[in-house]
Structure 1
């Protein structure tokens, strides 16, 4: 063994390298399979697809699997390298060598970094060969970026895992600490959000909306997302600095670490108490949420679930942390955990109660989206692919009504578990505030005839809801590759978008109850790296002209033929609003009896189908056709008519 002052001790370095040799070989093999081989398979038969193009960030997208494998490997790397600290004999032997502790750690880190870099270099060389032989689209600069980013990601995980190893004694506990260090903040917040959805109605349905800081603090998630969204220099710099700090702290902890503590599970008792309390809260929230979701009976049942969850979680956590199923019970630990649980629930109840009861002032709102339909669009997709004003309405009356509906919904809502889909209406409200922020709320327990729902329904009673029309608001985006109508049955030219917009004024003249509730068709747009879809109106002249010029008929695209059940409703102007509500609430028999619907058969069906195929619609009239899908059979259960029947306004 060389002297204590040697910069590099080959024997020590060889020892650490030998410890992780086979682990490194496995990582190298998995690396090659996860990236070069996967890329080869993905591009193997591309000659069979004319016009096939590789995405600009193809290499980064394909490297997600490799990156996950690398992060797991980096964690195991640290566990194996520091495993000598977990055995009293090995620890005494290593520290009895004429080598200072910082030097030992430096050699361990050097072996670990080499085990990360060498397999990545081999993978990079294979990628270069692939590029030279059959994938020239992968640029040299992209391979270089991938290599540097992969080294960075693996090194950050390695640094976190090394630091975690000096907090505990035992390879299993080390693994637990790594998992907690990486995912505990996300688990706490995610389960807090899930529990709030179980206990409260009126919370945003968007988890991402409130989770950006936590997700940015979850490095594995951030590392993978940056492969798709681009590398954020600020976030990467922060994590790089954090990794360096953790390595420095590891040297500090190692310097003051005492060998006689090797038999203790935790090197810091206070850390064990804190982690026990926090992970118990996580387990409590997990079990309570599951009980609330799968046994939706009452608030008492959910509360019971949280209570049982706390007890079970505490016992399980103690088993894991004590590394034994025969735990040593500590009143001090139990009392501290109980105090943390009480403080958590106080903060939880106060915070979420204030959250669900918070309604913005009308003067603070710039525009609003309010609907009883689920909104699948993200803020990013709306900004990128749609005109300003899509979904959101800046009309002062609409804003006033939305705020009123929001206040009413808070009064009308009930405990989240006490509702069924057939008896309740989904209500989503999104405010774009004048300060640039977005406020979202979702209600799921409002009864179908509640005052809040009636207010929302009345908001679209004055005119056509142009803000929600897909074709009326979509942009002529340079990355759009295809435009489809009627569930991908009719391909349209992108020029249809402008033609449709030119004819939207006519839609505004029709009866809003008819135009907003009948003749709805699906339109969709494919982009180079995205897909968007939404609803538009068949009554728009541009759609009818597109149909007339195509090889498909109206009965094909609207799923109607001789086998469909058909009814005719002739209504007065005053009956439309009530009819629409009944259509959504009554079954077809009840609806037919109440409005004396005329059932069609034989030649009557033929005449109606001919009318439809000729494009003879009449949204300005009072005659409606209710029809089922072909070969419809009446169900034994009573479903609202809108479940199986669609409506068209005809002449």
Structure 2
């Protein structure tokens, strides 16, 4: 008899029993939550049907936005709130004594509360999601819908786990809420300061692409938005893989950390500020860094004309770091008592700011003056945006047929002679920087904007991407005011070379996967020829002829002066985006002209104005 009784009340059964009791305790709260979920998705789906608004979950349509913006916000917000409520049993002396008198371990108690939070948050989400799906089942893209649902469940679990860890470490619920909010704010701001401020200081600095997953790695509240609106739910891309992998790992680490610490948490720590001080220490240091850099930046910009701007920055940094750490101490300690113990965190914040700021204004260990040696370079990529040119490139919006000049002149060279020419130009630009900027460098975002540009300056900016023999990459970007007259002339000689134009055209032609049409407008006869797959079967042959003529032709400057006509090529690239390549041709484009003459001109020749109207 004793054996049967003990088997009936196992640790698992006790966890499930307490979980069920917790869910029943908040049944009316759960009902309100379910109603809000219903109003934010299924009810909106009904309105979409009556209003004949499409709801497909493809792209950012109405259904996608409703589910991943409104519906998910309700779900994630509730998971945070109910988790703080469920884990509050650890943070009141009376409830701690009562709950810990139960015939179950602390870890089992914690697991039951965790499961209760998960069940209360996730089960209504699944039920209401399927109700909304049934309403619009004939139009919704199922793969995108279920991917959104899985991302939402992961976001809910990551928030519950994060709240659980903070609740274990904090002595009161209010301190846990404050910590959750402070971390969610200061972590992205700290990353943004470290990431963007060098672009305001270092000439030539190019910020590396930063993943939004990294930028919000400790902000689970926005994890669902980052995964759905910035990721491609139809394809499991590398971004989706990293994003999903991180939040799975984050959830596991927070849960494991909570289970590990719950047994070491002292009962008497309830209603104290923190049961474990490490989170508070880290929060104060990072917040002090953010506040110090922000105020220091403000002081530095306001005093940019002063030779002692760096002292103004340090003064602002000290004031900002002190104010932030002092304010957090008052919040956590409910007063100023014991602030002397927080002075160490203030000092750590100042050291962290100094380690970041001093190398930054002194050139970041030679970053500004570094020009790679030609023998160490495997290839160099060049981006130029200039005020002239014999051709243009732009994408096309298929819905509005609108063109956007957002395809830049970028190409890569790996021959030794060209690499040496580019490095020579780069060195000339670097040598000119000392004539423009004072040392040490200042936080002055307007410094470059006020640099005047002469009418004869052709190049607005230049971007260089080096790939070294050891695999390392070096990237620099310079604006028009940083490019000396000598460098301007060197660049002009470089871009008028046949190799440069051939490389540019070849790069974009190589991106084409399907040629839609080729239009030729003859300047002499004011007529045009429309070449497409119906009247010309070998578009690839036409493109090869164009590449050959570009390579054999003189520079584009001369081709503009004796232009015969203009060619417009419309094609899909590998990303299925429409790209249009426009290029002026002259009599030297013999191969292209020969192929154009083979087209049935009587059937497809039209007036210049008529052709423009039809293809607009």
The one of 163, 166, 172 equivalent to 1:164 is: 166
Shift of 1:79: 1.9
Shift of 1:557: 11
Given that 2:329 and 2:339 are in contact with CA atoms closer than 8 Å, whether structure 1 keeps it comes out as no
Could you tell me which residue of structure 1 aligns to residue 583 of structure 2? Answer: 537
Are residue 323 (structure 1) and residue 336 (structure 2) matched? Answer: no
CA distance in 1 between counterparts of 2:529 and 2:317 reads: 54
The one of 119, 138, 141 equivalent to 2:141 is: 138
Give the number of the structure with larger relative contact order, counting CA–CA contacts within 8 Å between residues 6 or more apart.
2
User: TM-score, normalised to structure 2's length?
Assistant: 0.69
Could you tell me which residue of structure 2 aligns to residue 208 of structure 1? Answer: 210
The one of 185, 194, 197 equivalent to 1:195 is: 197
Could you tell me which residue of structure 1 aligns to residue 346 of structure 2? Answer: 337
1:475/1:10 Cα in 2 relative to 1: closer, same or farther (>3 Å)? closer
The one of 236, 251, 254 equivalent to 1:246 is: 254
> What are the Cα deviations for residues 600-637 of structure 1, in whole angstroms up to 9, with x where unaligned?
xxxxxxxxxxxxxxxxxxxxxxxxxxxxxxxxxxxxxx
Deviates more, 1:416-425 or 1:121-130: 416-425
1:277/1:34 Cα in 2 relative to 1: closer, same or farther (>3 Å)? same
Given that 1:483 and 1:526 are in contact with CA atoms closer than 8 Å, whether structure 2 keeps it comes out as no
1:453/1:293 Cα in 2 relative to 1: closer, same or farther (>3 Å)? farther
**Structure 2, unaligned stretches of length 5 or more?**
1-7, 387-391, 396-405, 454-459, 522-527
Matched position secondary structure for 2:204: coil
The one of 412, 416, 419 equivalent to 2:448 is: 419
1:406/1:33 Cα in 2 relative to 1: closer, same or farther (>3 Å)? farther
Shift of 1:267: 2.2
Shift of 1:518: 12
**Structure 1, unaligned stretches of length 5 or more?**
379-385, 559-651
Could you tell me which residue of structure 1 aligns to residue 175 of structure 2? Answer: 173
Given that 1:547 and 1:554 are in contact with CA atoms closer than 8 Å, whether structure 2 keeps it comes out as no
Shift of 1:366: 3.4
The one of 468, 473, 479 equivalent to 2:509 is: 473
Shift of 1:180: 5.5
- Matched ranges for 1:322-401 at <5 A: 322-323=330-331, 327-328=336-337, 330-346=339-355, 349-350=358-359, 352-373=364-385, 391-401=411-421
Could you tell me which residue of structure 2 aligns to residue 430 of structure 1? Answer: 465
The one of 311, 333, 338 equivalent to 2:319 is: 311
Shift of 1:192: 0.7
Given that 1:319 and 1:326 are in contact with CA atoms closer than 8 Å, whether structure 2 keeps it comes out as no
The one of 92, 105, 111 equivalent to 2:110 is: 105
Deviates more, 1:112-121 or 1:500-509: 500-509
CA distance in 2 between counterparts of 1:261 and 1:484 reads: 78
Matched position secondary structure for 1:263: coil
> What are the Cα deviations for residues 53-112 of structure 1, in whole angstroms up to 9, with x where unaligned?
974998878753244554443333322222343444444443455554333322211211
Given that 1:522 and 1:534 are in contact with CA atoms closer than 8 Å, whether structure 2 keeps it comes out as yes
The one of 382, 403, 408 equivalent to 2:428 is: 408
Given that 1:483 and 1:524 are in contact with CA atoms closer than 8 Å, whether structure 2 keeps it comes out as yes
The one of 114, 117, 122 equivalent to 2:127 is: 122
Given that 2:169 and 2:275 are in contact with CA atoms closer than 8 Å, whether structure 1 keeps it comes out as yes
Could you tell me which residue of structure 2 aligns to residue 260 of structure 1? Answer: 268
Given that 1:469 and 1:536 are in contact with CA atoms closer than 8 Å, whether structure 2 keeps it comes out as no
Shift of 1:517: 11
Q: CA RMSD in A?
A: 5.1
The one of 454, 460, 470 equivalent to 2:495 is: 460
Given that 2:429 and 2:484 are in contact with CA atoms closer than 8 Å, whether structure 1 keeps it comes out as no
